[in-house]
Amino acid sequence: MLKGVIIHGVVSKANGMFQWAKCQLDHLCLLNNEQGSEKGTPALDTLPKDLFEKDRGILDRVNDSTPGNRSLVKRTLQWILFSEELMPGEKLAMVVTVEINSDYVN
């Protein structure tokens, strides 16, 4: 029953945006029961309205995280943006661990 409510809630707000719906379902799956309701408001009622709002929330969380995490996100985005070809996830995970101008390679 809850599964149906969640699916209906996400689909009804998606307006045909598949990626938005996927992001919302991923987010809802990470919530525990206490996080699923903020001050009596169900989590479905607080979902971002579009991908821009979702991305803004992700960037806000990155900005609020540790300096090391911010640096990792920055390097990852730089590799994605400036790579000459699409990089598989495993390769991207390897290259972002390398610190430029460092004598140490992990």
Confidence of residue 38 (pLDDT cuts 50, 70, 90): very low
The predicted model gives 76-95 an average pLDDT of 86
Domain ranges of the chain: 1-48, 65-106
On whether the pTM is more than 0.85, the answer is no
Judged against a pLDDT cut of 50, whether residue 32 lies above it is answered with yes
Query: Which of 19, 20, 17, 46 minimizes the C-alpha distance to 31?
Result: 46
Please tell me the distance from the alpha carbon of residue 38 to that of residue 69, in angstroms, as a whole number: 27
- Give one DSSP letter per residue of 22-91, joined into a string: HHHHHHHHH--TTTTEETTEEGGGGS-SSHHHHHHHHHHHHHTS-HHHHHHHHHHHHHHHH-SSPPPHHH
Q: What integer best gives the mean pLDDT of the chain?
A: 77
